[in-house]
Chains A and B, each alone.
Chain A
């Protein structure tokens, strides 16, 4: 298929010499274009006109593509000219995976992680005032993010204004508090623990924490406590020791809109939000696990579901029709159009009622070149079907038939068919059809039109809004 496309590209270029424009008149850098589209302005850096030569940009030195390295970030497919040295850029004429500085690893910054280069990791660590912790053994972004382990927190007890108070922080933070000799740290213990004898105790307040999905209790001093569970509001043990998500109420469930449990899970469809945003109030506190599912055209979709839209005329591949993918995240549905002219179709799968969809390239281009039904309907290679002895696209593509220079006419002509009917003259002067008589049947014309409209925006059909063509 791509060979075919490539050949078309070369043929089309014949007669019009393509130039490599360092800059086009529209402001794009390093483009293969017609000479008149190259900028004739003076390059302020060199005081000479922007370069152009009748060659492909890949063959020129000034538009050779490489990798631009800046603050540890590596950007491939970049011309050297755009990698500004004055702004700290450094260009190499290689792919990023051939450059040691571009090797990615896991940068652990406190209780967060980023999959970046070592240089970027150093920069990020400096921003947060932390020591660089760069791990090259974690070579996958997901594993990296999953590996984040927050330092174990606990009750940091100290004296303030002649009373014993507490902060729920890490051991390191506690030692940096400089709160005097009496400071003590109790790992895995909450500030509300009665045994500590501080002025902090249980409360009925809750909070949301940046980077976490769950609703947390806070103690009377405002410190973070365990995950909100209304049944544990008076449970001394629950206000003494730290419990993880798996040990808290109703784990492995979204707990969306639950008035009693704040063990929310983003991947299961809920996250901590203020009750005013969620539309429902928990038994205690102002926060709740907000339901992230969506309602669209009367149907419910789970958070994270994607599905193909039932858009106008797309099932019949009418001119102007287009595939769309719909995405439900955080209670909002967003519309993602697939490529226009039905050059992409939307495909959808359903596992236990959870829909996943994607825009995928419509592989119609070499249908007309298939002569065997078996080859035509090889779905691994192409999206075609066998109709009336011809191989036609399963999803007819669209054409810009209203513009001159398009290829609608040449593609539609593939479906053109001439039927020569032979008659024999009888003795009495009557004619009798003897060859291709089926062409006289009205259904033959219908069938041929069927093939014609299957090729693309050809033949007689209304557009996606129902307006008839002329």
Chain B
């Protein structure tokens, strides 16, 4: 009798473990979630849900790395590769702008990074509706990214026609991610203008203009400066590096220097 009771207890424990495991997989693996479980009541919501996490992750990474997912020319700051947006390898000289179209560059980086995921999401969307006996007609289209005040909009120009009892037509899909990268990039551009002209910038000016903005300036030993811009309300960050009018140790007789190269 006691043996039987013990077996029942084990089965209950195993059952609970399976349920917990199932919940964890469902919660932490969005790909599995979209393939098996996500209820596509609305194709727009499906695409938003499917793409949002990828875009948020990309934005986080771009923000810490000066606007590039794989920085080519960077300074290592607190284990992050922070890209130089303005740089000179010489002493006493103003920097050459390396990324003059920062906003467009970030948009292009996101576009390239999410291409695969966009295809995956639309494939899953199609499967999902086919599984529900819908007639699905999906037409190819490009992806556009736009950084805007307080948000990032990803527009997929794929069109979708669903037919079952009636017909539903979707010309394009918009994914909106709330993020302040547009504002932070604008401030970064303004700082870069100071860096190109004077080799420095005054952080308090920006904090006086924008009450919720925190601007940190960290001068490095090699003459580089890492700027960290933080929105105090939501913690959104953007950091980048510049090297302009660097001062050498002593007179700096070795005029041409190499840094991180």
Which A residues contact B (CB, under 8 angstroms)?
2, 4-5, 8-9, 11-13, 16, 18, 24-34, 37, 57, 63, 65, 68, 70-71, 73, 75-79, 82-84, 87-89, 124, 127-128, 141, 145, 213, 266-267, 271, 304, 306, 327, 329-330, 332, 334, 336-341, 343-344, 359, 361, 365, 397-400, 405-408, 410-411, 456
Interface: B54 (CB within 8 A)? no
Residues of B near A327 (CB, < 8 A) are 203-204
Q: CB distance B261 to A407 under 8 Å?
A: no
Interface: B99 (CB within 8 A)? yes
Q: CB distance A37 to B251 under 8 Å?
A: no
Q: CB distance A82 to B251 under 8 Å?
A: no
Q: Which residue of chain B has the shortest Cβ distance to A344 in the bound complex? A: B247
Q: Which residue of chain B has the shortest Cβ distance to A292 in the bound complex? A: B211
**Contact residues of B between 61 and 96, Cβ < 8 Å to A:** 72-73, 84, 86-92, 94-96
A308 to B214, CA, bound (A): 19
Q: CB distance B261 to A24 under 8 Å?
A: yes
Q: Which residue of chain A has the shortest Cβ distance to B258 in the bound complex? A: A37
Interface: B158 (CB within 8 A)? no
A345 CB, min distance to chain B CBs, angstroms: 12
A28 to B95, CA, bound (A): 11
Q: CB distance B250 to A127 under 8 Å?
A: no
Interface: B9 (CB within 8 A)? no
Q: Among B189, B218, B256, point to the contact of A16 (Cβ < 8 A).
A: B256
**Contact residues of B between 95 and 110, Cβ < 8 Å to A:** 95-101, 103-105, 108
B33 CB, min distance to chain A CBs, angstroms: 33
Prevailing SS type, chain A contact patch: mixed
A-B contact pairs, 15 of them (CB 8 A): A8-B251, A24-B261, A26-B73, A27-B73, A28-B98, A29-B87, A71-B103, A76-B196, A78-B96, A89-B104, A213-B211, A330-B214, A397-B249, A407-B252, A411-B251
Interface: B149 (CB within 8 A)? yes
Q: Among A8, A76, A266, point to the contact of B97 (Cβ < 8 A).
A: A76
Q: CB distance B260 to A26 under 8 Å?
A: yes
Interface-central residue, A5, A34, A37, A408, by most chain B CB under 10 Å = A5
Q: CB distance A34 to B250 under 8 Å?
A: no
Q: CB distance B204 to A9 under 8 Å?
A: no
A334 to B203, CA, bound (A): 11
Q: CB distance A82 to B89 under 8 Å?
A: no
Residues of B near A73 (CB, < 8 A) are 103, 189
A433 CB, min distance to chain B CBs, angstroms: 38
A28 to B223, CA, bound (A): 16
Q: Among A4, A11, A28, A398, point to the contact of B89 (Cβ < 8 A).
A: A28
Q: Which residue of chain A has the shortest Cβ distance to B146 in the bound complex? A: A127
Q: Which residue of chain A has the shortest Cβ distance to B85 in the bound complex? A: A75
Tell me the total A-B contact number using a CB cutoff of 8 A: 188
A411 to B252, CA, bound (A): 11
A340 to B247, CA, bound (A): 8
Q: Among B89, B97, B249, point to the contact of A406 (Cβ < 8 A).
A: B249
Residues of B near A70 (CB, < 8 A) are 100-101, 103-104
Residues of B near A400 (CB, < 8 A) are 249-250
Q: CB distance A77 to B204 under 8 Å?
A: no
A82 to B97, CA, bound (A): 8
| Contact flag A399-B250 (CB < 8 Å), given A28-B89, A336-B216, A337-B219 | yes
Lowest 5 CB-CB distances: which A-B pairs, in order? A26-B261, A27-B73, A27-B72, A343-B247, A68-B100
Q: CB distance A9 to B255 under 8 Å?
A: yes
Q: Among A266, A340, A405, A411, point to the contact of B221 (Cβ < 8 A).
A: A340
Interface: B164 (CB within 8 A)? no
Residues of A near B50 (CB, < 8 A) are none
Q: Among A84, A145, A359, A410, point to the contact of B104 (Cβ < 8 A).
A: A84
Q: CB distance A399 to B249 under 8 Å?
A: yes
Interface: B127 (CB within 8 A)? no
Residues of A near B219 (CB, < 8 A) are 336-340, 344, 359
Q: CB distance A329 to B214 under 8 Å?
A: yes
Interface: B148 (CB within 8 A)? yes
A17 CB, min distance to chain B CBs, angstroms: 11
A82 to B196, CA, bound (A): 15
Residues of B near A28 (CB, < 8 A) are 73, 84, 87, 89, 96, 98, 261
B241 CB, min distance to chain A CBs, angstroms: 11
A379 to B254, CA, bound (A): 28
Q: CB distance B249 to A341 under 8 Å?
A: yes
Q: Among A11, A77, A124, A359, point to the contact of B196 (Cβ < 8 A).
A: A77
A9 to B247, CA, bound (A): 13
Residues of B near A338 (CB, < 8 A) are 219
Q: Among A5, A24, A82, point to the contact of B99 (Cβ < 8 A).
A: A82
Residues of A near B91 (CB, < 8 A) are 9
Q: CB distance B250 to A78 under 8 Å?
A: no
| Contact flag A329-B204 (CB < 8 Å), given A27-B73, A89-B101 | yes
